A and B are shown apart, each in its own frame.
Chain A
Amino acid sequence: MPALFVSDLHLCSGRPGKLALFIKLLQEAAGRQDALYILGDLFEAWAGDDDDTPPHPEIISALADFTRAGSSLFIMRGNRDFLLGRNFAAKTGGKLIDDPTVVELGGKKLLLMHGDTLCTGDIKYQIYRRIVNNRFTINLFLTVPFVLRRRIWHGIRGMTRGTAPGKPPSIVDVHQATVEKTMRKYRVHDLIHGHTHRQGVQEFLLDDQKARRYVLGDWYEGDSVLVASENGLRLMGVQEYLKL
């Protein structure tokens, strides 16, 4: 069953320490873990699969090494990197997965999401998402020359090439009713997501059964990884995982 889950790394050249930590995690896990699931916002900003802004090539190379060692890589698009496409998947040897996706590990069904669609209380964001994150808008944006796309997308994210680390924004939390409705729809009692940057595990009753919502932490100041093993699911810091 061994699998790792991470999200919201927001990797960029402004935070070299976190970049190095992620590469170390990949090197440690390569060949040891069956799979790594990245549930969105791996990158602080991704302006298209031709986005070779540093440190993107380095990350792609490290991911390719990971899959070459025999481990599987599954990547979900987040709200920062929803422009990730087939070329990225091919270069890394990974597979893009839908949001949401249900996987079965160790006989248990897990619902995987980035998490932004659960924040239905944030009406402004949900409207923005509907406009920006649809095939038509994406395809239109991808016809814009890369240099201009990068300036627009990285600029929107408050980043210029190789400088600003990107401030973590405050994000509205998930709406519990939406969480429960979604879990019922996919008939699961275990949900793993990121996006809200509120790391932790929330237990609650869902139709008389214990349900768990695992929230992956962001890598702005801290870092976190969810480790799935025969003993269940455990959230921990990356350093703790590296010591296992």
Chain B
Amino acid sequence: MKVQLVTKLGGITLELDAKRAPRTVENFVSYVRSGHYNGTIFHRVVEDFVIQGGGLDRNMKEKPTKPPIRNEANNGLSNLWGTVAMARTSDPHSASAQFFINTTDNAFLDFSAETDDRWGYCVFGKVVDGMDVVEKIEDVKTTTRSGYQDVPEEIVLIEKAEVIEE
């Protein structure tokens, strides 16, 4: 299954791994289909780490989400360059809509044990087209805004997210 994110800097195509992360993919796709991601931003961009988005609108307000889902990080997939994973709080099972794309190998984010501090972040797909767009986003200048650090100075809007291949 493929999902495309459309931004002013270009399109990013994600290939989702429903076999290894069934609940996570189902959850992500439901947000795509409901239009949740349309008008959200990449609000956190950290060079040599991740670009993260899908949760805040252009005014830095959190969009409402559905209940969180159970972490599927113990699926054997690693947080390597170009993979997409669910963001969450320190509660391992708190992922809802926000996701991030790894812009380098971040194996230290992987699952290693079912303890709060070692559950890791669930990888559920990878970028198959548009990694150059990801890198352009990674390079933008950032600032602190509304209490968030590493926010792009110029808004990076996800204009539209849609399923392009079932």
Contacts and interface: CB of A to CB of B under 8 A. Distances in A.
B81 interface: no
B109 interface: yes
A202 B107 CA distance: 10
B164 to A, nearest CB: 31
Contacts of B109: 205
B162 to A, nearest CB: 29
Contacts of B108: 202-205, 210
A209 B108 CA distance: 12
The interface centre, meaning the residue of B46, B49, B108, B109 with most chain A CB atoms within 10 A of its CB, is B108
Query: Chain A's interface: helix, strand, loop or mixed, by majority?
Result: strand
B47 to A, nearest CB: 10
Interface in B43-76: 46, 48-49
Interface size class of B (residues with CB under 8 A): under 10
B106 interface: yes
Given A210-B46, A210-B106, 11 more contacts: A202-B108, A203-B106, A203-B108, A204-B108, A205-B108, A205-B109, A209-B46, A209-B49, A210-B48, A210-B49, A210-B108
Query: Chain B's interface: helix, strand, loop or mixed, by majority?
Result: mixed
The interface centre, meaning the residue of A202, A204, A205 with most chain B CB atoms within 10 A of its CB, is A205
Interface string B102-124: 00001111000000000000000
A211 to B, nearest CB: 9
Query: Closest 8 CB pairs between A and B?
Result: A203-B108, A210-B49, A204-B108, A205-B108, A209-B46, A205-B109, A210-B106, A210-B46
A202 B106 CA distance: 11
Interface in B120-162: none
A123 B109 CA distance: 30
Contacts of A203: 106-108
A205 to B, nearest CB: 7
Contacts of A204: 108
Interface in A189-205: 202-205
A57 to B, nearest CB: 44
A203 B48 CA distance: 12
Contacts of A202: 108
Interface string B80-114: 00000000000000000000000000111100000
Nearest to B120: A205
A210 B107 CA distance: 11
Interface string A6-19: 00000000000000
A10 to B, nearest CB: 30
A62 to B, nearest CB: 36
Contacts of B46: 209-210
A205 B106 CA distance: 10
A209 B50 CA distance: 10
Nearest to A210: B49
